[in-house]
A and B are shown apart, each in its own frame.
Chain A
Amino acid sequence: MTDKITNWTSADDAMVENAIRRGASRRELLKMLLAGGAAVAAGSIVLGRATNAVAAEPVSGGTFKAAGWSSSTADTLDPAKASLSTDYVRCCSLYNRLTFLDKDGVTQMELAESFDSKDAKTWTVKLRKGVTFHDGKALTADDVVFSLKRHLDPAVGSKVAKIAAQMTGFKAVDKSTVEITLADPNADLPTILALHHFMIVQDGTTDFSKGNGTGAFVLQTFEPGVRSVVTKNKNYWKSGKPYLDSFEFIAISDDSARVNALLSGDINFAASINPRAMKLIGGQQGFELSKTTSGNYTDLNIRLDMDPGNKADFVAGMKYLVNREQIVKSALRGLGEIGNDQPVSPANIFHNPDIKPKAFDPDKAKFHFQKSGLLGQSIPVIASDAATSSIDMAVIIQAAGADIGMKLDVQRVPSDGYWDNYWLKAPIHFGNINPRPTPDILFSLLYASNAPWNESQYKSEKFDKLLVEARGSLDQAKRKEIYNQMQGMVSEEAGTIIPAYISNVDALSSKVKGLEANPLGGMMGYAMAEYLWLEA
């Protein structure tokens, strides 16, 4: 993989100190670091003072208060129903998963000790011994079977029911071994089980308001839509962790208010701040920023099976009309990486860096629009705050269209019910896709012919065949080759324009240590609570 900044050397120290003394702004500092060859690990930069935390020793104790951005009465401690970042953070602090993704996107074991399979169809999972739930009961295979099987029950309303449907058989072979049988071979099972929804709960749980899990913290207070407070689990099986005494999580939906709460000292951590607030925090002593590019993106979807998407020239024209640099610069304020119209982001080990995005070319765009006969017609484009930055992106594309005589009519619709009414349905609309750990999940959810969320209704038999082939193969090299090819196919043929992978920036007090970037999302893939500590 690429080089990583893991430790600052004293040479780096000196360089940064000098620059700061010369009055370098955060922006200049960043440019300097990147130019100087400080290449970064897939998707991560930690911007901060030169005296960096990675080498420091964790300190126990302290109350940590963090604020996310969305919370409602639908907040839940049931991992199957978890849907917002807020839910994920809470679940990560109370429960554990069988596996998890580390900062390089590599699957690591957590509650499981090992995964074995000869044919990628039947898997034997050995569980860690000596793990107990908060109520004292020991973790057994029955708990795992219960936790996984419940996703298949429609009454549970699991968010990953479709993904879990691959698992057709569960058997508790003995107290610490589980056998999982899949409908079709899938080499990604260990990675799939790293999804937040597959947290392990106790066998037979129906009331999740107690948050009884094996995780680093024990639930103290939970008020849906208001806050949650969890305290240190003294019997946590990862000895030494967690460092924090207690962790309170609230949500402040107003961007400015969230940043202000951090600046005034009311909270230690503000998740996902607006890029425009970075200037504000960067200029203040005692605060740091952590950027993650995890594979979250907002895409412009043109349905290939409806007017006007059924005209190939129209789709081609749109792909040339989207000014990706401008979008990253103006809409995302530099907090994004230019995308190449396919969903596998650089944070993923299977990302294909050789696919080049279509360059912004208004003349070619005009040519194609003319050929399609649609130049000058008013084309509605649906955008909403529900899809991050979609309205800003739409406006930029609209202005570019206006320059060549193309009338794109941006319609802003309420976030309320957006996913229900417009997403997947309108002929041209924006969507927002959260990061998924494997290309197989992304392709199965979004691009297979019968995919539930096939935003542009892309249908290709060849694609479907390749998908199944890659899924069942245990040969990493072969899989990479196939996935590279599939990424190319999506970029060329599908109707989803992905201008950029959106970076997420968390802002924190300098007293908070231990934060690293993670491909599953900000806040260390939402699992930050057990890894953080507060400097005295």
Chain B
Amino acid sequence: MTSGVLNLVLKRLAIAVVTLLIVLFAVFFATSMLPGDTASILLGQAATPEAVAGLREAMHLNDPAILRFLRWLLGLLHGDLGTSYANEMPVAALIGGRFVNTMELAGITTLLSVPLALTLGITAAMLRGSLYDRTVTILSIGVISVPEFMVATLAVLLFAVYLKWLPALSSVNEAHTLTDLVRIYAMPVITLTFVISAQMIRMTRAAVIETLSTPYVEMALLKGASRGRMVLKHALPNALGPIVNAVALSLSYLVGGVIIVETIFNYPGIAKLMVDAVATRDLPLIQSCAMIFCLGYLLLITVADIIAIMSNPRLR
């Protein structure tokens, strides 16, 4: 079986690389459709035709975009992410620290939200129709119906301004002790947990309910198996595929979608970096960020696919 799994993983990796290339080309194409280029945008109101032409020349932007893109791709193969157009710093240096920050935030949020969501989803499915189930449903839908910026702002108003328990800004570089870290991460993590849990809870619940209603589960019940055992041993393995997919989709948000949390808490992550990059049409930075987002997403769904395949004996 191990060689089977290995094959599977290798095949998935190859597919991932292909997908990555498609995404990079798509992002390049999308950006090139946007009006304006780095020179004219950096000059902003000061952009006269001569000034733009001069700056473009100095930044080597006169080569056709596709050529610059291919040059970047080539550099990528050598591990070089290129140099940012906007400030001439190496992209790797720009991304480096901020990527670590994003991973930290994502990691902590995952550790908190996934067990929470799975527990709530499974128990709600088991106790379907009960008050507990209804409450979980209403709360989870209610929570994600509140726009993210509102949750974050509310949290800041309550915990930072009014109660003064937590800092309003998540200044990662000022964290010296564990308590500092907890205080700094508390609100962003809670906000993000609110945002992504609902999808995991709802989908887990739906998938488990579905498997609970299949004949062989009824059979197991009739045979006298306890409810908990039945859920864990019979229902869950079959619901695993869809559940893992829902979890992967939710977590993929944590890499590139947390722009609002980064803005409100001033957290230096790479979501805002990407937004900046698009605004300045900074090709190497855009492509590098897009690559990271894509890799993150692909990693998650590849793991999800592998788990789904392995959990269903008929698919192996």
Contacts and interface: CB of A to CB of B under 8 A. Distances in A.
Contacts of B2: none
Contacts of B164: 264-265
Interface string A236-266: 0000000000000010111011001101111
Contacts of B160: 260-261, 263-264, 266
B47 A419 contact: yes
Contact of A252 (B34, B167, B169): B169
Contacts of A419: 41, 44-45, 47
A453 to B, nearest CB: 7
B51 A267 contact: no
B42 A257 contact: no
Interface in B267-291: 268, 272-273, 276-280, 282, 285
Interface residues of A, number: 45
Chain B interface mostly helix, strand, loop or mixed?
A: helix
A243 B286 CA distance: 41
A250 B263 CA distance: 12
A154 B89 contact: no
Interface string B40-60: 111111111011011101100
B168 A264 contact: yes
Determine which residue in A75, A81, A154 has the highest number of CB atoms from chain B within 10 A of its CB, and name it: A154
Given A157-B51, A420-B40, A421-B36, A73 B273 contact: yes
A29 interface: no
A105 to B, nearest CB: 22
Interface string B140-170: 0000000001001100110011001001110
Given A261-B169, A261-B266, A73 B50 contact: no
Given A74-B86, A252-B169, A260-B157, A225 B54 contact: no
A83 interface: yes
A162 B276 contact: no
A420 B84 CA distance: 21
Interface in A433-457: 434, 452-453
A246 to B, nearest CB: 13
Contact of B42 (A83, A253, A416, A434): A83
B206 interface: no
A266 B167 contact: yes
Interface size band for B: 35 or more
Contacts, number: 142
A294 interface: no
B138 to A, nearest CB: 27
Contact of B276 (A72, A254, A266): A72
Contact of A73 (B51, B86, B171): B86
A122 B225 CA distance: 100
A355 interface: no
A20 B157 CA distance: 26
A452 B55 contact: no
B170 to A, nearest CB: 10
Contacts of B48: 161-162, 452
A75 B87 contact: yes
Interface in A412-433: 416-417, 419-421, 423
B114 interface: no
Contact of A157 (B43, B266, B277): B43
A160 B44 CA distance: 12
Contacts of A67: 266
B55 A159 contact: no
B181 interface: no
A159 B39 CA distance: 12
10 contacts: A72-B280, A73-B285, A154-B57, A160-B46, A225-B268, A225-B272, A225-B273, A226-B268, A256-B264, A263-B161
Interface of A: 67, 72-76, 81, 83, 153-162, 209, 223-226, 250, 252-254, 256-257, 260-261, 263-267, 416-417, 419-421, 423, 434, 452-453
Given A261-B160, A419-B45, 16 more contacts: A73-B273, A73-B277, A73-B280, A74-B87, A155-B55, A157-B54, A157-B58, A162-B51, A223-B97, A224-B89, A252-B263, A254-B149, A254-B264, A256-B264, A261-B266, A264-B167
